[in-house]
Amino acid sequence: MGLRDVTSARRRLTGLRLRALGIAQTLPASPAETVGRMLALQGQDLPGVLWSIALRSPGATRDSVEQAFADGHLVRGWPLRFTLHVTRAEDIGWLSALTAERQHAAAAGRHRELRLEPADFDRAERIARERLAGGVRLDRRDLLAAFDADGLSTEGQRGAYLLARLAQSGVAVLCGPTTWTLLDGNVPDPVRLEGAAALAELARRYLTARGPATARDLAWWAGITLTGARAAIAAVDDEFDRLDVDGVEYRLPFGLEPAPDGIHLLPGFDEYLLGYTDRSAPLAGRDPTLIVPGGNGMFLPTIVVNGEVVGTWKRTLRRTDVEVELRPFRPLAARTLAGIRRAAAAYAGYLGLELRGVVTP
């Protein structure tokens, strides 16, 4: 495949994904509806995932997304890859149950190092159910203090792993930045799926919101086996189209068209990069450490121009305004800079602040 063909294939993949992901053309949806369509969004960087949700929800602001958490529509837990994700409250139970066994097995070694026994997890669940009963919400530090007061040590990382196990087991969830509540006491009508039906729904929503994608992408994203991912896609295969790019077969929604050219300021950990195991298309052959310095797992916010990641950015918040600093990988054309300023103004509006300026090197 020649350079022109490689570029064309890359642009086709990125254009289709920008459309499917709801970035280039947002669909009329509330924050909760957006998250429901996406199924889950990586959420350890809370300010970042709030922006990821809002930029896919027309008219949404930081306040309106935070309100969706306060109202119990959105929660965070560890349903995938032992990593914090945002989901709709009604989805986190079946999704966590689908992946819990593999996550428990993956964490077993660390549990042994921390001297965490099954009885400790049972004890943590008992304490959590007692302290959070009746819809009570507790800050992380207060829930950990309750563990310690009952003689269950939270020293070192023990507390973090005890809380993570509560979430993975469908007992409790994060309903605010550091606030915990019981899942079954706050979700009156949870989605109930298991086994093959759960796998099929996983593939259906993953491919709807992220296609073109492969079974390997799904396996990585969900933290399931490749065999499981292939079986999940096979169960819904007649619902999706196929696309062959350089010998790789992708699944995507029928009728999906590439997004038009556009400029986007995406947060770190956005699904545009985190939704796939192969990120070569948006990076256009660049070294991944440009967006993950030192390979430390911390993804920087990205500047995306016509599907290509052309740099990173950071914000500086003040009381009444925000400043956006650009770190492009190459000099940017005046037209591109004008588009970035418009994107930065939209970001400032989401925050409810004035745009102080866009700083370039």
Note whether residue 4 is domain-resident: no
pLDDT tens string for the chain (361 positions)? 444 555 788 899 999 999 999 999 777 889 999 999 999 999 999 999 999 999 999 999 999 999 999 999 999 999 999 899 999 999 999 999 999 888 888 899 999 999 999 999 999 999 999 999 999 999 999 999 999 999 999 999 999 999 999 999 989 999 999 999 999 888 878 999 999 999 999 999 999 999 999 999 999 999 999 999 999 999 999 999 999 988 899 999 999 999 999 999 999 999 999 999 999 999 998 999 999 998 878 999 999 999 999 999 999 999 999 999 999 999 999 999 999 999 999 999 999 999 999 998 7
Output the pLDDT for position 5. 55
Structural tokens at position 272 = 């545009």
CA distance 315 to 343: 13
The verdict on 344 and 277 lying in the same domain is yes
Last residue of a domain, one of 204, 228, 253: 253
pLDDT of residue 361: 77
Query: 30 and 177: one domain?
Result: yes
Q: Are 20 and 253 in contact (CB under 8 A)?
A: yes
Domain annotation covers residue 33? yes
Compute the distance between CA of residue 225 and CA of residue 231 in angstroms, rounded to an integer: 10
Task: State whether 285 and 332 are in the same domain.
Answer: yes
Q: How many domains, the chain?
A: 3
Do 169 and 113 share a domain, yes or no?
Answer: yes
275 found inside a domain: yes
Contact 108, 185 (CB under 8 A): no
Q: Does some domain include residue 17?
A: no
Give domain status of residue 189, yes or no. no
Same structural domain, 118 and 236:
no
> Is 292 a domain residue?
yes
Q: Are residues 292 and 240 in the same domain?
A: no
Q: What is the DSSP string of 294-329?
A: GG-S-PPPEEEETTEEEEEEEEEE-SSEEEEEEEES
Asked if 33 and 146 sit in the same domain, the reply is: yes
Q: Are residues 291 and 240 in the same domain?
A: no
Question: What pLDDT sits at residue 3?
Answer: 46
Q: 110 lies in a domain? A: yes
pLDDT at 330: 94
Q: Looking at 156, 182, 208, which one is the last position of a domain? A: 182
d(CA 165, CA 49): 22
Query: Are residues 39 and 171 both part of a single domain?
Result: yes
- pLDDT score for 20: 97
For residues 105 and 229, membership in a common domain is answered with no
Residues 276 and 221 in one domain: no
Q: Which amino acid is at 221?
A: W
Task: Give, to the nearest 10 degrees, the angle between helix 140-149 and helix 118-132.
Answer: 120
Domain span holding position 232: 195-253
Cβ neighbour number for residue 125 with a 10 Å cutoff: 16
| 349 assigned to some structural domain | yes
The CATH number that applies at residue 216 is: 1.10.10.10
Question: 157, 182, 207: which is the final residue of a domain?
Answer: 182
Answer whether 64's CB lies under 8 Å from 56's CB.
Answer: no
User: Could you give the CA distance from residue 169 to residue 121 in angstroms, rounded to a whole number?
Assistant: 10
What residues contact residue 259 under an 8 Å CB cut-off, 6+ apart?
15, 16, 18, 19, 23, 24, 25, 307
Considering the domain architecture, whether residues 63 and 199 belong to the same structural domain is answered as: no
Please give the pLDDT value at position 25: 77
